[in-house]
Structure 1
């Protein structure tokens, strides 16, 4: 559900709001503001001392799933009740958080695992807090995209985080086609039940790319599988017990000699016999050294007879 802006606290200006807070007594142990706190992605020990301090002493703690957070709190001896803030939270919940900040409280925001706002709810809250003139503090820690990049052996100097792609194959192939020309490591999230479908679509759109599947990270059975998508599917099908989100990395395209227009036309003709035009164009672009846009424009010039002739 899309989050919507909420009405701001009554203040004359942001400058006045900040000045008023600086001159007032803090209600709790921490400076008033929103604390965006990272939590473990698997191993409960992967939490910082500062995060534990904030979660123990902040005036309020908001989380996605209170059941998950209560388990984390129990493991670390934190005796308090968290409040819920998730993607379906209504405007009045954000308004209540803004009122708490207005009253000089310190508020912590956490997700079920990892760093908040990385494919998690919270963007609208952070934006509203920023727009209202309150301070926001980062309490960094575990993040599964960074953890995956650190152990996969793929180029990590530049990467693009694309999160979850659409669940349906056709839309997912279109999304992959939009990414095919980007010359960096691609970082995706996927659920175990859709992982095989994602790999099949990567094979269809980016047939020459190496893929790393990182699952159970920081847990006892942490595993990184690297290879062509077609090679990994059988391995994954034989061991389908993984739970939770999986990080999938796609290697940047290898530098290759640019195909001639005739070669591109021939490859397009073959691809378009079994795939939609956009998917065929993305696949040929991945193999030819041409941009997807140029291949797509060339495909549009095909006559029916020309397409049938290859």
Structure 2
């Protein structure tokens, strides 16, 4: 274990800087000061970030840092940091490393003893969560789900039994398919779709998954969506548990015979019953054979 005190560093610092997700007024004073004073800025899209710097009259040098250039750029950035330069990493909007490049660079910088300082800023996931009206905690951020339906369903299935509110991002081209998979996997839960967050035409769509799908059939999906889905309700969990215990009206003997009639031998049937009833195989064996003899 190693303790890092950022106050002990005066150079060679990697800053993780949050930038506006739409409204430029959300740029914090600390973020502005950092971007103006660092030696260079590693940007997901230099053209996009140049517009931001121009708005604030900054002339800080830019280098590109995105998924396609990540590996080679990390080496360059780490060399700069080891030389004592300060570098700020930014994404096109929000906090870097949250469904955007940055996480690997942070890991490598920490591993090489470089100070890492986050400069908090706007974040679409948290903005949508607190404005959704759904329970804000606990919550799970899933980012972008897989593009293919089967993979998407498998990912959603992992969180089907979780009571935490789920937060995801989705593109306008896949949002309908994603909601259809959400309904078939998680059920027709309450959901909130937020788009254009912090901008003039900010929109919130609240209702069930079915209602959201109906709305999207009649309206064109535009812009990236932040989607908030309610977690599994306690009453729904109870219903699922009751459904799993389909055998609750059967005696142990009837339960074993049910499996035998479907092709299992007595040993296999006893093992299956023991698992479903959370009993030992010995307990089921004794009850079944005692009742048989009687």
Which residue does the alignment assign to 1:289?
none
SS at structure 1 position matched to 2:234: coil
| TM-score, normalised by the number of residues in structure 2 | 0.77
* Cross-structure match for 1:146: 126
Match of 2:48 in 1: 68
Displacement after TM superposition at 1:261 (Å) = 4.1
Q: 1:131 and 2:111 equivalent?
A: yes
Displacement of 1:92 after TM fit?
A: 3.0
The alpha carbon displacement at 1:32 in A equals 2.8
Corresponding residue to 1:242 among 200, 219, 222: 222
2:279 corresponds to? none
Q: Which of 174, 179, 186 is residue 206 of structure 1 equivalent to? A: 186
| 2:230 aligned residue | 251
TM-score by length of 1: 0.73
CA distance in 1, matches of 2:133, 2:243: 33
What stretches of structure 2 of length at least 5 have no aligned partner?
Answer: 249-275, 277-294
Question: How many pairs align?
Answer: 243
Task: State yes or no: 1:46 paired with 2:29.
Answer: no
Aligned match of 2:86: 106
* CA displacement 1:172-222 (0-9 Å, x = unmatched): 111111110111001111001100011111111111311111111111111
Quick one: distance in 2 between partners of 1:239 and 1:141? 32
In structure 2, distance between residues paired with 1:193 and 1:67: 24
1:241-263 residue CA offsets vs partner (Å, 9 max, x unmatched): 522x2111110111123424465
Q: For the residues of structure 1 that align with 2:229 and 2:76, how far apart are their CA atoms?
A: 41
Give 1 or 2 for the bigger CA radius of gyration.
2
Whole-Å Cα distance in 2 between the matches of residues 264 and 33 of structure 1?
A: 62
Task: Could you tell me which runs of 5 or more consecutive residues in structure 1 were left unpaired when the two chains were aligned.
Answer: 1-13, 266-293, 295-310
CA contact (8 A) 1:40 1:142 kept: yes
